[in-house]
Structure 1
Amino acid sequence: MSDTPARRGRPGYDQGQVLDVAVQEFIAHGYDATSVAALADRLGLSKSALYHHYASKEQLLEVALEEALGGLEGVLASAQGATARAKLEYVLRGAVGVLVEKLPYVTLLLRVRGNSDVERRALERRRVFDREVTALVRAAQDEGSVRADVDASLATRLLFGMVNSIVEWYRPTGQEGAAELADDVLRVALDGLRR
């Protein structure tokens, strides 16, 4: 849900509820194929009532992507640990936590293709995030705490390929919560399946 202060709308929707429905529609039909009229219809609002909450469809997308990107960037900025490996583990654990907590928003982020200025800015932020994680992987390799025989940028892609795949199958109603899921990701990603 958005950290944006709630503003009450005509039939009782606040900004967070409108955003949640918009994200569901963007995921189901694609951002480009979702019209403001379709969003208003899904909410049972007029288009003008929808504009009471958000100035444009682009603003909805921007706020939704900020939910995901802000969470991931926050984890990276607060990475803690005495070693590069500990910081990498913190980031991976935190990324899983953000994904579980903001599942629809991260799902939307992962489907962005760069067809608008908002999407292109989001993709650039993802690239910066990836470069910073790659630097952490490289630092962990330099300290000898993770394998150095895999290129750091490839390792980052593989790690986040695994983390990002969670959006395709994870259901919050399942038996495993974010902490247990993060433990499993770290075991497989950093320790491997080999006995």
Structure 2
Amino acid sequence: MTATEPVARRGRPGYDRDSMLEVVVEAFNERGYDATSLGVLAARLGLSKSAIYHHFDSKEQMLEVVLGKALDALDDVFDAPEATSGPVRDRIRYVVRGAVLVLAERKPYVTLLLRLRGNTAVERAAVERRRAIDAKMRTLFELARDEGTLRGDIDPRVAERLTFGMVNSTVEWYRPEGRTTPDELADAVLAYVDAGLIAR
């Protein structure tokens, strides 16, 4: 334990699973998953290790739940009726806006997802889920190409990578408490997608 870590206090009340995860994901992002021991988490939470085990079986389970908060929200966007039916251009706009809003609302969780190295089975499973989401976005751009609403000089795979590259990069600079609201951020991203990728 470093000098900056608080001393663990046994039985500190006030934590449910979700509030614990907020502390856990902050630690994972600051220190890296591998470097964050259960002792570090216990100190940050002010709980004993045994108290943590009342909520989670292991550190790996914590990681799985944390990553699920990002991936489940993204899957919900892509599985919504607005993303699976209707004009393709509208479907693309819906999922891009939804992805931006998920990032803004669950930024610490998405940040951790984007930093995964695939070192554990949980991480590898999350990477596979993320790739499946990428594939859904790519499929939408393929449909847009086929119907003539994606610019003909842009490959759908490139369009997908450019779009998610722009969305994902916002974790490095966007501050939800700042002047730009999540909706304004989504509007700005959509303006770039419309201007650069969608055929007029």
The normalised TM-score by structure 2 is 0.89
CA–CA distance in structure 2, aligned partners of residues 148 and 96 of structure 1: 25
Deviations 1:112-158, CA, capped at 9 Å, x for gaps? 11000000000000111111110001101111112121111111011
What number of residue pairs does the alignment pair up?
Answer: 185
1:133 aligns with 2:130: no
Aligned counterpart, 1:34: 36
SS of the aligned residue for 2:53 comes to helix
Deviations 1:97-119, CA, capped at 9 Å, x for gaps? 10011111001110111000000
SS of the aligned residue for 1:34 comes to coil
Aligned counterpart, 1:188: 192
1:76 aligns with 2:81: no
Aligned counterpart, 1:152: 156
State which of 87, 92, 105 in structure 2 corresponds to 1:88. Answer: 92
Deviates more, 1:140-149 or 1:32-41: 140-149
Amino acid at match of 1:105: Y
| Residue 190 of structure 1: how far off its partner (Å) | 2.0
Q: Is the 8 Å Cα contact of residues 79 and 90 (structure 1) preserved in structure 2?
A: no
CA–CA distance in structure 2, aligned partners of residues 55 and 19 of structure 1: 14
CA–CA distance in structure 2, aligned partners of residues 49 and 175 of structure 1: 39
Aligned counterpart, 1:142: 146
SS of the aligned residue for 1:52 comes to coil
Q: Is the 8 Å Cα contact of residues 61 and 118 (structure 1) preserved in structure 2?
A: yes
Structure 1 pair 50/39, CA: closer, same or farther in 2 (3 Å)?
A: same
CA–CA distance in structure 1, aligned partners of residues 117 and 152 of structure 2: 32
CA–CA distance in structure 2, aligned partners of residues 79 and 24 of structure 1: 33
Aligned counterpart, 1:53: 55
Structure 2 runs not aligned, ≥5 long: 1-10
Amino acid at match of 2:46: G
Deviations 1:66-107, CA, capped at 9 Å, x for gaps? 000000010000151621111011000000010011111001
Cα RMSD over matched residues?
1.4
Amino acid at match of 1:31: Y
SS of the aligned residue for 2:178 comes to coil
| Residue 10 of structure 1: how far off its partner (Å) | 4.6
Aligned counterpart, 2:181: 177
Q: Is the 8 Å Cα contact of residues 27 and 41 (structure 2) preserved in structure 1?
A: yes
Q: Is the 8 Å Cα contact of residues 138 and 157 (structure 2) preserved in structure 1?
A: yes
Q: Is the 8 Å Cα contact of residues 79 and 87 (structure 1) preserved in structure 2?
A: no
Q: Is the 8 Å Cα contact of residues 163 and 185 (structure 1) preserved in structure 2?
A: yes
1:19 aligns with 2:16: no
Amino acid at match of 2:158: L
4+ long deviations beyond 4 Å: none
State the identity as a percent. 56
CA–CA distance in structure 1, aligned partners of residues 177 and 15 of structure 2: 25
CA–CA distance in structure 2, aligned partners of residues 12 and 184 of structure 1: 39
Structure 1 pair 136/108, CA: closer, same or farther in 2 (3 Å)?
A: same
